[in-house]
Structure 1
């Protein structure tokens, strides 16, 4: 497969899922100095990230969070969801432990993209819930995939996860892809008047443990 224009030589193809490892660098945060690893999915142009802290390649289960991009929550501090709070809480937990990994997957809006997510928000303002909004736009409730976690984790030398999540679907899909999730750790953050209905829908329709 020809490389994307502008992609420099030296990338390392790490799986048959056409994922390239690009580079790593240190990333100081308010909680710890993480190592940031960048991966490229050539077929889509998506740039996925991993943050690691401490020795994660010793064969022991690793405290982990697999987080899908949420620009409005992660960057703009939106209170409509729990994404930004979960991201911060995960990094705090990993820093407190001194060892862990966070995979940041570029699948905005449960996989439907930013603009469609904003269209879904508009529908929610008209009275439908987060699942119904996606369906009215012609999408499933959740389009996210987790198979790319396999080569990312393999590249990092991680074999087993102690996964911070409230989603049974995420665990099911990860295990189906071959990821060894040995423990689930709840990741509960504060409710507010803007995300209460959203969280209720995630529990009622998506089966989240909330």
Structure 2
């Protein structure tokens, strides 16, 4: 169910922004552009990252991926981003910060830090995304903008057919290299390092 909606002018074009709620009280936000009913429409399931998106952290690529996805959607003429309030792969902000401190002190990666705190590698629940996509009238056949195999699996479990999965070209700080390598090696992400420019 759509709770509220408005139009938002951004640096990457005009988006319709809505909040959604499912039958269990879970909420998410969507950003959509153009007609979403055509087969192959672009979609991204994006988890919130206050450090990478608002505080300009250099050790992740969440901000660059979000902004590049917005650019890609406006270039294509249609698409949607479902923005999920799932900090730290679903661990929540407090545990994410504890994990970050464990990484800093022990010199381990985020998967290892989470394990030491008794957390799973990825605790995200994508079910509310199904509500948002249905509210938006998303086509059953989609193009997924992501390098995460779990997001493809989530869309398929929600009843969508992923016609193709694309990796974007974007710039990110050189400090994010180890993080992206970890996602590729340990998380089976299809990170295309040929499309990523490391700067700074």
User: Where on the TM-score scale, by shorter chain, does this alignment land: which range?
Assistant: 0.7 to 0.9
User: Aligned to 1:74, which of 53, 62, 67?
Assistant: 53
1:87 aligns with 2:69: no
Q: Deviations over 1:19-73 (max 9, x none)?
A: x3202100110111110111135745x531111111113x422111110011111
Corresponding residue for 1:115? 94
Conserved? CA contact 2:28–2:128, under 8 Å:
no
Instruction: Determine helix, strand or coil for the equivalent of 1:141.
Output: coil
Corresponding residue for 2:171? 190
CA distance in 1, matches of 2:62, 2:108: 20
1:128 aligns with 2:108: yes
CA deviation after TM superposition for structure 1 residue 90, in Å: 0.3
Q: Report the TM-score, using the length of structure 1 for normalisation.
A: 0.84
Answer with 122-131 or 181-190: which moved more: 181-190
The alpha-carbon distance between structure 1 residues 176 and 43, as it changes in their structure 2 partners (threshold 3 A), is: closer
Structure 2 stretches lacking a partner, 5+ long: 192-200
1:31 aligns with 2:25: no
Corresponding residue for 2:31? 51
Q: Report the TM-score, using the length of structure 2 for normalisation.
A: 0.88
CA distance in 2, matches of 1:173, 1:38: 20
Q: Deviations over 1:128-178 (max 9, x none)?
A: 111111111111110112222222111111122111111112112221232
CA distance in 2, matches of 1:188, 1:116: 31
CA distance in 1, matches of 2:149, 2:90: 17
Corresponding residue for 1:13? none
Q: Deviations over 1:8-29 (max 9, x none)?
A: xxxxxxxxxxxx3202100110
CA distance in 2, matches of 1:60, 1:145: 25
Alpha carbon RMSD of aligned pairs, Å? Answer: 1.6
Instruction: Determine helix, strand or coil for the equivalent of 1:158.
Output: coil
Matches within 5 A, 1:118-197: 118-125=97-104, 126-159=106-139, 160-197=141-178
Conserved? CA contact 2:48–2:86, under 8 Å:
yes
User: Aligned to 1:207, which of 161, 177, 188?
Assistant: 188
More helix by share: 2
Considering Cα pairs closer than 8 Å and 6+ residues apart, tell me whether 1 or 2 has the greater RCO. 2
CA distance in 1, matches of 2:108, 2:28: 31
